[in-house]
C-alpha cells in the first residue's frame, strides 16, 4: 500500500520512518524543514535503536504527492481547518485517513467535510519530540491504538494494522470511543498540568499534592467516559497510567513544548470539546474545567486567542 504522512513531526515522522525502514512506500509532506530533510535526510534518535533515512520521498505541497491508500494525519489540531485542503489531493475512492492527533471530536468534524471518507483514529502512546529540523528524538514507548470510526473497507484497516506491526510498531485495535477516551485519561491531566505548573511529568508525580490532583483529573475523565457510554475504562486503568508515567523518562508533552516555543496550544480538542461532550450528558469535570480556563487565560495573554 502507498502511504502519505501529513505532518512529519515527532509522531508522523517517527511512525513514517519506521514504515520506510520496513520497506513500505511512504510519502512525506514537510513544511519548515523540507529543504533541510531533502539535503540531510530524516534522523531518528531512538531508545529502541537510532537510524537515519538519508533519502525520503519528501514534498513541500500535497498537490505534488501521489494519491495514496492510507493518509496518516499527524498535525496539531490547532491546524485542523487546513486538513481538508491538504488531504484532498491525496484521496482515492477507497483511501483510509488515520488521524494520529490528540483530543475528542476530530473524526466527526472531518467526516462533515468528507461524508464518504474512511476514517480511523490513531492514539499513540509515545514520548517523542522534534525541536530541530529533520531530527526526531524518541525517548520511550511507541505503541499505538487504532479505533475504527467510519472505515467500511476491512482490507484497508487490516492492511494498515499489519504494516504497522511488520514495522516493529506495537499496534492494537480498540473500539473507537474506548480508544479516544483512554488516551484522554493521560492527555487531559498531563498536557495542561505541565504547562500551568511549568513542570515535567516526573515532577508532577513526585509531589504528593499534584500526584493526587492528577489522579482526581484522571478519574474525572473516566467518569465522563462512563457518562457518554464507554464503560470499559476504570480506576485500574488510572493506576496503570500513573505507574507507566512513573517509569517513563522525565517528559514534556506536546502541549508543554508548544507553550515553551510560543506556539498555539491544542486547547479546543484536548479540553473544550471533551468538556462539552461530558456536559451534554450532565457530567461535570470541575478540576479539568478549571485547567481549561487556566490554559485559555495563558493563550489570551500570549495573543493566541
Q: State the catalytic residues.
A: 183
Q: Are 57 and 26 in contact (CB under 8 A)?
A: yes
Per DSSP, the residues of 119-169 read: EEEEEEEEEEEEEETTEEEEEEEEEEEEEESS---HHHHHHHHHHHHHTT-
Q: Are 151 and 120 in contact (CB under 8 A)?
A: yes
Phi-psi region of 43 (alpha: psi -120 to 50; beta: other; left: phi over 0): beta
Containing 45, the helix (H) or strand (E) segment is strand 42-46
The residues that bridge with 123 in the sheet, in sequence order, are 145
Q: Please, is 201 exposed, middle or buried when counting C-beta atoms within 10 Å of its C-beta (0-12, 13-18, 19+)?
A: buried
Phi, then psi, of 124 in degrees rounded to 5: -90, 130
C-alpha cell at 228: 457518554
Amino acid at each position: 500500500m502507498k502511504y502519505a504522512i501529513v505532518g512529519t513531526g515527532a509522531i508522523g515522522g517517527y511512525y513514517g520512518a519506521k514504515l520506510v525502514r520496513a520497506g513500505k512506500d511512504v510519502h512525506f509532506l514537510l513544511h519548515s524543514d523540507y529543504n533541510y530533510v531533502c539535503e540531510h535526510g530524516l534522523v531518528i534518535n531512538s531508545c529502541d535503536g537510532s537510524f537515519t533515512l538519508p533519502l525520503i520521498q519528501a514534498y513541500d505541497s500535497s498537490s505534488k504527492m501521489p494519491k495514496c491508500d492510507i493518509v496518516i494525519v499527524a498535525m496539531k489540531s490547532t491546524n485542523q481547518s487546513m486538513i481538508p485542503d491538504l488531504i484532498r489531493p491525496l484521496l482515492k475512492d477507497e483511501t483510509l485517513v488515520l488521524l494520529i492527533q490528540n483530543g475528542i471530536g476530530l473524526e466527526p468534524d472531518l467526516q462533515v467535510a468528507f461524508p464518504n471518507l474512511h476514517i480511523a483514529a490513531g492514539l499513540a502512546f509515545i514520548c517523542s519530540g522534534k525541536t530541530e529540523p529533520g531530527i526526531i528524538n524518541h525517548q520511550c514507548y511507541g505503541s499505538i491504538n487504532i479505533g475504527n470510526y467510519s472505515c467500511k473497507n476491512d482490507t484497508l484497516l487490516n492492511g494498515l494494522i499489519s504494516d504497522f506491526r511488520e514495522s516493529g510498531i506495537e499496534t492494537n485495535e480498540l473500539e473507537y470511543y474506548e480508544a479516544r477516551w483512554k488516551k484522554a485519561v493521560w492527555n487531559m491531566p498531563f498536557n495542561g498540568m505541565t504547562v500551568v505548573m511549568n513542570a515535567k511529568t516526573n515532577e508532577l508525580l513526585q509531589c504528593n499534592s499534584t500526584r493526587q490532583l492528577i489522579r482526581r483529573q484522571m478519574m474525572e475523565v473516566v467518569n465522563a467516559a462512563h457518562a457518554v457510554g464507554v464503560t470499559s475504562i476504570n480506576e485500574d486503568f488510572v493506576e496503570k497510567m500513573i505507574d507507566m508515567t512513573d517509569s517513563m523518562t522525565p517528559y514534556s508533552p506536546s502541549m508543554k513544548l508548544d507553550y515553551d516555543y510560543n506556539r498555539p496550544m491544542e486547547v479546543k480538542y484536548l479540553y473544550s470539546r471533551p468538556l462539552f461532550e461530558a456536559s451534554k450528558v450532565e457530567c461535570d469535570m470541575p478540576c479539568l474545567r478549571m485547567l481549561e480556563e487556566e490554559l485559555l487565560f495563558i493563550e489570551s495573554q500570549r495573543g493566541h486567542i
